[in-house]
Amino acid sequence: MASSNIELFDEFAGKIFARLYENFPIPIDLNSKDFLPPTIREGGDVDSDGRLHHIRFFYATTQWLASAGYTNSPDKKNSYSNDVVLTAKGLEVLKGSPSSLNAGPSIGEQLVEAAKEEGKDTLKNLVKEALSLGIKLIGPVVGLP
């Protein structure tokens, strides 16, 4: 079954957040081939239009994360983004704990583990938690409740 745009966004955002958190504060290059599902990356059961859609979607995700203030603005060249790093806001969000936990691993630490284990549902839930926390952090600044 095809993923919805939100599900695909959550999966890419989770993997991107995990990679950036794990490497913070060192800027890294983000290459779509490192984030695509294996069947798409290796030319499996997806036609060229489906592969191109996933590549474009990956870059749209990186651009959205930058415009929302979670990462610096990536220098996009051809098939990758150069020198991407978490912003102060992105780091603060990922250092937070999920609302379901009083203590324990941060959202970032859990994203790193979920990305290693290919836990798509866990990634998606943690991204939702991170974005929700991000809204709470910036809410007073932009006049949100």
Of all residues in the chain, the percent with pLDDT exceeding 70 is 73
Reported as a pLDDT band with limits 50, 70 and 90, residue 49 is low
pLDDT above 50 (res 145): no
Least confident of 84-88, 104-108, 135-139: 135-139
Higher per-residue confidence, 37 vs 1 = 37
Enumerate the domain spans of the chain. 5-137
Q: Is the pLDDT of residue 74 over 70?
A: no
User: What is the token pair recorded at 42?
Assistant: 């290796």
In the chain, alpha helices (H): 5-23, 38-41, 48-67, 88-95, 107-116, 120-142
Mean pLDDT rounded to a whole number for the chain? 79
Q: What value does the mean pLDDT take over residues 137-144?
A: 51
Enter the pTM of the model: 0.79
Rounded to an integer, what distance in angstroms lies between the CA atom of residue 128 and that of residue 10?
A: 7
